[in-house]
Structure 1
Amino acid sequence: MRFAINHITAPGLSLEEFFRAALALGLTEVEIRNDLPDIVDTMTPESVRAAAEKAGVTIVSINALYPFNVWSGDLPRKALALADYAAAAGAKALVMCPLNDGTPVAFEDLVSALVAMKPILEERGLIGLVEPLGFPISSLRTKAEALRAIDEADGEGVYKLVHDTFHHHLAGETEFFPERTGLVHISGVVEPQVAVDDMLDAHRVLVDARDRLENVEQIRVLVEAGFLGPFSFEPFAEEIHRLADPESAVRDSMRHVTDAL
């Protein structure tokens, strides 16, 4: 399996420090962000590309266009700007997340957003990585619905799924779509008292033996089904962000996953 790492794993590191940490872990695929940390609004895409080329890493994605399924207001301008940035920075794909505030979004609007975004991605040679969010308040919870919309928008080849182990568990999904998946996000929940419907990003840590999300089982299914893409660490918990030695913690999590498999 191919491990990768999302910058949110160690947001206190500068971009160059993050790239060096990835290489020290034996990883050459990374994800950068426009929130935590906000690389997009603090560095030019040309400087990001130069830093990646100097380090010898591949930027597999930029996280994220939000809320991609509400194609109105400022969203079209933001989508164009972020796609331009991703292409100029040398990123391969753009992660796209749905509205997550309890407001429903019609399936027809989801399809319309995918139709509108498709030429923007195609013209820049980018893949759109659609990431359903499993939270009860999410407007797009399942990969099955995302695929139905992608097919309705004639988007196969332009869009792929993000299989996020946290959101897969929260949504109660049982289906896997390895052939339509471009990226896997991995994180665990170890808090024993929190109910599944109450799990939040703040609970997401690195995967270890206490994990409640069945990360190893999910990864095994994807690997055995032939998924060859990257498995990228994406923990949101502040306790992980504050680690003095995130590199060692990620190495331990990599070892746990590979040993368990």
Structure 2
Amino acid sequence: MLELNDFCINRCCAGGLKLSDFVKLANEVGVHNIELRTDIHKGSNFLDDLSSAEFNQLQREYDVHVANISAEFNLDDRSHWNNKIQAVTELVNLAQKIGAQHILFTPIRNAHDIRTDDQKFADLVHNIRTYSDILGAAGINGLVEPLGFGDSSLRFPWVAQQVLQEADAKNFKLIADTFHYYKAQVTKKDFDEKVDVSRVGLIHLSSIPTNKSPKEADDADRLFICDNDEDIMKTIDQTNWFKESNYFGLYSFEPCAPEIDQWSYDKCKQEIISSIKKIIAG
């Protein structure tokens, strides 16, 4: 049975709040792990202009720490390579300062991408191998999130596993995301037979309470957890796949609907608590 310590909240759970309020919110719902995002900030950077020392004081005050930083990098993009190396290095240095355990990378989404599947695979291997070395030298781990969209260069977890194996990236693991599994139509049979659970480092959870097909569903439809009979993705059922496996990592809520940015502190708190209860009950 899952407990509060098994949960994490992504900053998009309360994207309209200042980072200081988000950290306080995590403490109030009893969750001690958070995900930061480089695409959400109330200042010039994703720490809302707080210094690393000021943010660390918040972490100590509210007994919260950063499970990962979700970075705005197209994982398999090899253009402007020196700039990418510099940006990754700078993010790694900041991750060290704030005690972040992982940095999360996502692949390219481009409907006009003319690369073959073999070229995409080779670019992923090349970049991950390099990033793995940079992160590893600083004691930071990496996460790769296959995106189920049709225009994604990396859609399926079993392909991502092959990439990590080819890159020999021992400090990288995969993210399993119920939304992206729905988009890519990953089944329980696929998960049981093709996904090595030991390579999964985090699970992202959300629900879509509208009747949208995998092709139609988008990030803007992703809300907090609702009952199975209301959720087209059946996220509670999907979560039970992970519960029944040998996965023992964090379960993080990642509802991306832009309307959440308009919600009050109390509304976000209520939805997080409700989601935790639904996932624990299964």
Cross-structure match for 2:224: 206
**1:252 and 2:270 matched:** no
1:44 has 2:51 as partner: yes
Corresponding residue for residue 78 of structure 2: 71
Alignment pair present for 1:86 and 2:95: yes
1:113 paired to 2:135: no
Q: Are 1:164 and 2:197 counterparts?
A: no
Describe the shift of the 1:41–1:56 C-alpha distance in structure 2 as closer, same or farther (beyond 3 A).
closer
1:21-53 C-alpha deviation (Å, 9 max, x unpaired): 111111111111110235157333333223212
Alpha-carbon shift at residue 255 of structure 1 (Å): 1.5
* Unaligned stretches of 5+ residues in structure 2: none
Shift of 1:180: 0.9
Structure 1 segments of 4 or more deviating over 6 A?
Answer: none
- Given that 1:25 and 1:251 are in contact with CA atoms closer than 8 Å, whether structure 2 keeps it comes out as yes
**CA shift for structure 1 position 72:** 2.8
TM-score by length of 2: 0.87
Report Cα offsets for 1:101-139 as digits up to 9, x if no partner.
222452111100011111111011111000011000101
SS across alignment from 1:66: strand
TM-score (norm 1): 0.93
Question: For this pair of structures, how many residues does the alignment match?
Answer: 258
Pick one of 190, 202, 205 that aligns with 2:209: 190
For the residue of structure 1 that corresponds to 2:159, the secondary structure is helix
Change (3 A) 1:133 1:12: same
Instruction: Say which SS state the counterpart of residue 198 (structure 1) adopts.
Output: coil
Note if 1:54 corresponds to 2:67: no
Match of 2:144 among 118, 130, 133: 130
Q: Residue type of the partner of 2:239?
A: I
Structure 1 residue runs without a partner (length 5+): none
Q: What value does the CA root-mean-square deviation take over the aligned residues?
A: 1.6
Amino acid in structure 2 at the alignment position of 1:56: D
Cα separation, 1, equivalents of 2:106 and 2:254: 15
In 2, distance between residues paired with 1:33 and 1:80?
17
**Residue 234 (structure 2) pairs with residue 220 (structure 1):** no
* More helix per residue: 2
Structure 1 SS opposite 2:74: coil
Q: Could you tell me which residue of structure 1 aligns to residue 168 of structure 2?
A: 154
Cα displacement (A) at 1:241: 2.4
